[in-house]
Structure 1
C-alpha cells in the first residue's frame, strides 16, 4: 500500500475518534523500511467505523440525558409548591399548616429567578455535553528543537574538526489536534539567510506523530568545510493529499570547523 494512502486512512480514523496508535506504529516502521501489514487498510477502516458508531451512540445517550434533565427540571419547577409542601409536612409532620394572607417571599417561588436558574442549568448541561463529545484542542501548533549530544538542551559543540562526526538530537512536538507526518531537513551552510534554505538536506528524518506526542531522534553529522559553519534544522509536514509544506519552524547551531 502507498504510504500517502496509509497516512490518509490514519488521519481519517483519528478524526472519527479512533485509537490509531497501532496504525501509527506500523506506519513509522514502514518509514524505517519495513513493509506495511497486508490488512492495514481494512484495520484502519474498521477502527474508523467503530469510532463513528461509538460517537453516534454517545450523541444519542447525551441527547437522552439532556432530555431527562430538562424534563426533571420542568417537573420540579411546575410542581415546586407541592414538592416543598410535601417536604415540609415530612419534616414537621406533627405541626399544622395554615395559609397566611401574605405573598411568597422566598426565591423558590420567584418565577423570574427560577426561569433564570433553569436557563443557566440548560446552558451548563449543553456545554458539558459538547465538551464531552468534542473536547477542544486549543491553538494548534508544532515545535522543533535541537538538543545536544546527551539528548538535552546544552552541551553543544562550539569547535569541531573537519570531517569529525558530531552527535546531536532533534526534538519534534505535535499539538495540531491530529496525526501529522513530519519531515526534518538537516542542512549545512555558512549564510545568515532565513530558512527554508535552497540547499539540499544532508540528512532527512521523518516521523508520524499523534496529537500531543513528542519525538527525540539522534543523528550524526560531519562538516566538510572549514571556517564558521551553520547547522540548520527545518520542520516540514505532509498533508494527507501528499503535499509537503514548510511549517515555519526551524533551528540552528553555529560552529567553528578547523
Structure 2
C-alpha cells in the first residue's frame, strides 16, 4: 500500500511540475505575442489618414507607395520588412503636409502681391483717367480725315483706324478665349467620370495569350491589372476564385472557392500589375478563373464589390 502511495505522489509531483513549466512558458510567451504589432491594422489606419490628407490637396504619393510596399511584404510573409515600411508613413505624411503648407503660403503671398499691385494700378488709373482720356480723344480724332467719295458731291468722314465691326469681332474672340482659359484652370485636376479598371493578362503580360488547357497540379501563371481613376487614393482588394458553369454572381461576388487574394493602395491615375500563380487540383471542362475587384467604401466603412470582374475559361486534364 505504501509503495503505491509513493508512486502516486511522484506522479502528482511530476504533473504539478509540468503544469508549472507550461504556465511559465505561457507567461513568457504571452507578452511577446501581445507585443506583435498589427501591421495590417496600421496599414488601414495610415491609409485613412492619407485619404483625408489627399482631400485637402496634399500629395500623398510617397505614403501610398510605402503602404503598397508593406502590403506586398505581408503577402510574402515578411512581417519585419512590412513593419519597417509602415513605420515610415507618419513621417512621410508629415513632410507632405509641411510641403503643402509652404506651397500654400507662397501662393497666398503671390496672390496678395498681385492684388496690391492691381489696386495700386487702379488708383493711379483713376487719378489720371481724365488726362488719359483727353489725350486718347485727341489722338483718336486725329486719325480721321476728309476725302471726297467718287460719284457724290458731298464729302464723307472716313476713318483710317480699325472699323467698329472688326473691333467687335476681335473683342468677342478675346472674351471667348478668356472664358475658355479660365474654365480650363477651374477644371484642372477634376475627375468628371471616376472609375476603376480591372484586367487579366496572360503569362507574357498580353491580352489574349491565355492558356486554354492546363495540367492538373502544374502551376498556371497570369497577371492581374488594376487601375485607379477615382480621383483619390483607393484601397483595392482583388479576389481570385476558381469556378465553373454553376458559379453565379451576386452583390457578394461569385459563389466559387477562393484561391488567392491581394490588396493594393493606388493613387489617382496609377495602375499596377500583380503576378498570380495557382494550381488546379481537379479535372474539368469550361472551368472559370474569376477575378473580382473590391474597393474600400468610406461611406459604409468596409470593402464593397465594384461589379468589375473578368474570367478566363480553360480545361484541366491529367496529362499535358
TM-score range normalised by the length of the shorter chain: 0.7 to 0.9
Aligned length in residues: 247
TM-aligned CA distance change 1:128 to 1:143, over 3 Å: closer
TM-aligned CA distance change 1:21 to 1:109, over 3 Å: closer
When the two chains are superposed, the root-mean-square deviation of aligned CA atoms in Å is 4.1
TM-aligned CA distance change 1:159 to 1:13, over 3 Å: same
Structure 2, unmatched stretches of 5+, are 1-38, 75-81, 147-155
For 2:59, the equivalent position in structure 1 comes to 19
CA distance in structure 2 between the partners assigned to 1:135 and 1:84 by the alignment = 46
TM-aligned CA distance change 1:206 to 1:120, over 3 Å: same
TM-aligned CA distance change 1:158 to 1:56, over 3 Å: same
1:29 aligns with 2:88: no
For 1:225, the equivalent position in structure 2 comes to 282
- The runs of at least 4 aligned residues of structure 1 exceeding 4 Å deviation read 59-73, 78-86, 96-105, 112-122
1:207 aligns with 2:260: no
Q: How does 1:175-214 map to 2 (within 5 A)?
A: 175-190=229-244, 191-194=246-249, 196-214=253-271
CA distance in structure 2 between the partners assigned to 1:114 and 1:164 by the alignment = 73
For 2:198, the equivalent position in structure 1 comes to 144
Report deviation, 1:149.
Answer: 0.9
Conserved 8 A contact 1:185-1:201: yes
For 2:153, the equivalent position in structure 1 comes to none
1:254 aligns with 2:294: no
CA distance in structure 1 between the partners assigned to 2:116 and 2:193 by the alignment = 33
SS at match of 1:248: strand
For 1:168, the equivalent position in structure 2 comes to 222
Which gives a bigger RCO, structure 1 or 2 (Cα 8 Å, sep 6+)?
A: 1
CA distance in structure 1 between the partners assigned to 2:138 and 2:173 by the alignment = 21
SS at match of 1:25: helix
Structure 1, unmatched stretches of 5+, are 90-95
Report deviation, 1:230.
Answer: 0.9
Give me the TM-score of the superposition, normalised by structure 2.
Answer: 0.62
CA distance in structure 1 between the partners assigned to 2:144 and 2:121 by the alignment = 29
Q: Deviations over 1:204-256 (max 9, x none)?
A: 01211111111111111111221121110000111357410111110001111
